[in-house]
Amino acid sequence: MKIAVAGAGAFGTGLAIALAANGPVTLWARDAKAATKMQESRENAARLPDLIIPENVTVTSDLSEVFAADTILLAIPAQKAGAWLAEHAAELAGKRLVACCKGIDQATLRGPVAQIENHVPDAVAAMLTGPSFAADIARHLPTALTLACKDNDEGAYLQACLSTPTLRLYLSHDVVGAELGGALKNVIAIACGVCMGAGFGESARAAVITRGFAEMRRIGAALGADPETLTGLSGFGDLALTCTSDASRNYRFGLSVGAGKEFDSSTTVEGAATAVSVTNLAEKHNLDLPICRVVADLSSGKIDPETALATLLARPLRKEQ
């Protein structure tokens, strides 16, 4: 199997470093200067400083080298993935395409695998998701992820080829559940960050995690996800990690919002865009997702943390479910 990773951000670079344990990997960076610098220095200083890129990872800005692979991992931001797939649909036809981005597209309200199926219908589409940070993967620390694929044989093949001694992949056929878990945990992580940044305390964060998980299950049921998927690695596992660690970009973004501080605009925060998408999905399916709605309003600057808290506390008392 020839493997390429499209997207040389932190997660794409981390995956390329990890997968190099199995053989040669091509890592594509959009910026030619950045690709050349990474290839020569053997480091992604901007995203994963002090981590060496193995010699069998070729960093390039030449897409033809990516298209020469039969398996391509898409580590492109979720809001840009659809346009990238549409632009290169002809070259991607018949490939194995593994989405490694987490989010729901604002324009189409589709997850990453649905985007692949829409733009490249004859490709094998899969989703790699779960509790993981790029630096942990790159350092070969033990990590367990979900690999979701509708095709049993192709899923098993990808599971075998993309697993390493420290990267353990668990196979699932519930693509919808895997997409939703990875996308929605980022939204809840922002809410948890806001709680901590605004000084609301650990008890408030625990409540947000718990009620946020209920919202994840609610929309999962509406869209046909297997409830078991959301209690696994790609759902609750990823939620627990992202909502409690400063290494999470979405959590750090929430911390900044809650504390009224500026946040690095060059850092991708998938949860902010996904919150808007989820709110639109909730309206479409007549679902009550108050935390997701509040995060959407917070991220767009429509309300402040105090108003957000007041909004949630003002909700009617009812039976927990």
Active site residues: 185
DSSP symbols for 75-87: -S-HHHHHHHHHH
Residue 4 parent element (H or E): strand 3-6
Exposed, middle or buried by CB within 10 Å (0-12, 13-18, 19+), for 121? exposed
CB 74 within 8 A of CB 95: no
Count of positions (residues) in the chain: 321
Identify which of 221, 97, 225 has the alpha carbon closest to the alpha carbon of residue 154.
97
Dihedral through CA 98, CA 8, CA 19, CA 14, nearest 10? -110
- Distance from C-alpha of 24 to C-alpha of 140, rounded to nearest angstrom: 17
Half-sphere exposure of 102 (CA within 13 A, CB side): 34
Phi, psi for residue 68 in degrees, rounded to 5:
-75, -15
Distances from the Cα of 18 to the Cα of 38, 93, 119, 138, 234, angstroms: 16, 26, 28, 5, 19
